[in-house]
Amino acid sequence: MTKFRSIYMGAPADIARGVRGEVANAALISHSRQFARALHRVTDRVHCHVGSCLGNSTMVLGRTGNIVIDTGDCVEQSAMQQQDFRAVSDRPVSALIYTHSHYAMGSRTYVPQEREGQVPVWAHKDMMRTLARTLSDVQAALTRRASIQFGLYLPDQGEDAMPSHGIGPFLFELDKYQPTTGFVRPTNLVGDGDEAEIDGVRFQFFDAPGDTYDSLLIWLPEEGIAVNNVAWPALFNIYTLRGETFRNPADLLRGLDQLLAMRPRHLVGVHGLPISGEKEIRRCVTDYRDAIQYLYDQTVRGINLGMSADELVDYVRLPEALAQSRLTREFYGEASFHVRQIYHGLMGWFGNDTVELHRVPPDDRAVRMVALAGGPQYMQASVEQALERQEYAWAAELAGYLVRAYPECAHYRQLKARGLRAMGQATSAANSRAWYLTQARELEGSADTSRIPVNFVNAALVAQFPPQTYVNALRFRLDPALSGAGASSVDLRFTDVGFACRLLLRNGVVVLAPVDDASPDAGIDMSFSLWASLVGGEATADEAAGSEAVRLTGDARLGRAVLEAAQGK
């Protein structure tokens, strides 16, 4: 592996070229090799599949069939898992278990429609509520930002390709397939400490909040195996660049301490390779949980000393022994991001400087900064000097002022892209790399992040949730101008499932209310299956409005607006 030196945030970094032609941090390339597609034997009964997607899938041999834990992000991935599992056992699936609401979207491969209801599906008691929030309220923003974070706007070959995503090989291989969601609802919900015998195998479940609050720590006492979503092969992402609710490290420590108390002989993760040996597991998990506590405790210490989030980034640095342990390297996110998130989670966005209360608007600030530099030619010279000195963050920041002040200038966009690409190549953190390179390519005109490359929601998925889940999303989709001339109401009925609600449009908001005897301004009668097709992008508002399966009454403008909002127009 040919290496050359670069700089990332003031520190030297080794850069290399990987098997896809990617130019990336050499340590990230080496780390990525563990995610090659393979089935790993843990014990005679338990096998862990790595490499078909971001998360692993684990098969436990039951008395009559195969118990599968986690099913990937689409049916194309679970089909690969199933193919590899059959090398060990071709018996039917006797049960599914979800560790959390991620990696459950390939379950239809294991439970086809004709077997639904015959195969028990086990999950955390809060899984459906967690999943509903993720897939409805901020679905559009999270989909776009997740697509950036997981490199879906980047090429699969060449210098901008991804070596891996630090905790797994990739989210989707879009050069090989378009992902199809196939989700099967849980039938058996469990809580902290619950025990069950599933197809002859003893399981115990524990609450272990991780990147979601519906995460289960799964204990197989007869095998001495813990299947978990709290110990990753890279430093845990207290903050993820795609955006999330606050992941409180104090909650995460509970699951890690529970894991240590189990004294497992084998550790199987949702991410990364299985680890065997009680002593090695204890060492790795202890370092991992202590690194997370260190980030939390020292951030709190700095807060109490009066520091802002910006100041804390320099103040809180992991000790070398913790930063370089087996599971704590910054191959996914960066510790500085997590320090900021802890600050914001505990204190909110405001630091200490009251200038932050009302900053100069970004475009105005850019114009003023360019003028302060003496004009665009002087600012450009400063950018070029910073690039020569390998001060890539400073170069990108200065070029950003030029891009804002002169948005039509391709050369200024290229200067900023150069700084961002250099940072993306040097960082060991896959999340950072994907964001740097995607924005660089967007500045160059070779990526368009306004176009969503995948659709995580289809009609079949919508149909697995209560109707109100996606009706509630109308609050964020209907134009507030619809109630600009006064309040109005729309009755929405799904005739095939007996659902009805009234949408009250007033003061720019949408309120969901029960239907009463008062006449609405508009009415929509349709099937829930057609509504699911609208939301899932498999039907259009034009098709629905012209269909005999939809009955519109009253103000056609209001009814049509609801159908278009359901489609996402």
Per DSSP, the residues of 493-522 read EETTTTEEEEEEEETTEEEEE---SSPPSE
Per DSSP, the residues of 424-492 read HHH-S-HHHHHHHHHHHHHHHTS--TTS-S-----HHHHTTS-THHHHTTHHHHS-GGGGTTS-EEEEE
Cα–Cα distance for residue pair 74/24, rounded to 1 Å: 28
Cα–Cα distance for residue pair 71/148, rounded to 1 Å: 23
Quick check: 404 pLDDT over 90? Answer: yes
Q: How many Å from the N-terminal Cα to the C-terminal Cα in the chain? A: 48
Percent of the chain with pLDDT over 70: 99
Q: Quick one: which of 62, 89, 71 has its CA closest to 198?
A: 62
Cα–Cα distance for residue pair 175/158, rounded to 1 Å: 14
* pTM exceeding the 0.85 threshold for the entire prediction: yes
Q: What is the mean pLDDT of residues 118-144?
A: 87
In what order do the strands lie in the sheet containing 11-17?
3-8, 11-17, 23-25
Dump pLDDT digits (tens) for 433-489: 999 999 999 999 999 999 989 888 889 888 888 998 889 989 999 999 999 889 999
Quick check: 1 pLDDT over 70? Answer: no
Quick check: 5 pLDDT over 80? Answer: no
129 or 235, which is more confident: 235
Q: What is the mean pLDDT of residues 307-325?
A: 96
Dump pLDDT digits (tens) for 529-566: 999 999 988 999 999 998 888 999 999 999 999 999 99
For residue 365, what pLDDT band results from cuts at 50, 70 and 90?
A: very high
* Residue 351 identity (one-letter amino acid): G
Helix axes of 528-535 and 556-567: crossing angle, nearest 10 degrees: 60
Q: What is the pLDDT of residue 10?
A: 87
Quick check: 134 pLDDT over 80? Answer: no
Percent of the chain with pLDDT over 90: 89
Q: What is the pLDDT of residue 188?
A: 98
For residue 163, what pLDDT band results from cuts at 50, 70 and 90?
A: very high
Q: Quick one: which of 189, 201, 245, 247 has its CA closest to 227?
A: 201
The residue with tokens 């706007």 is 153
Q: What is the pLDDT of residue 547?
A: 87
Q: What is the mean pLDDT of residues 248-275?
A: 97
Q: What is the pLDDT of residue 186?
A: 97
Q: What is the pLDDT of residue 280?
A: 98
**The two three-digit tokens of residue 406, written as one number:** 């002169």
Q: What is the mean pLDDT of residues 351-374?
A: 96
Q: What is the mean pLDDT of residues 178-207?
A: 97
The residue with tokens 């609802």 is 185
Helix, strand, or coil (residue 190): strand
Mean pLDDT rounded to a whole number for the chain: 95
**3-class DSSP string for 72-92:** ECCHHHHHHHHHHHCCCCCCC
Contact 234, 275 (CB under 8 A): no
For residue 4, what pLDDT band results from cuts at 50, 70 and 90?
A: low
Q: What is the pLDDT of residue 3?
A: 66
Q: What is the mean pLDDT of residues 505-517?
A: 95
For residue 25, what pLDDT band results from cuts at 50, 70 and 90?
A: very high
**The two three-digit tokens of residue 296, written as one number:** 């939390």
Q: What is the pLDDT of residue 7?
A: 85
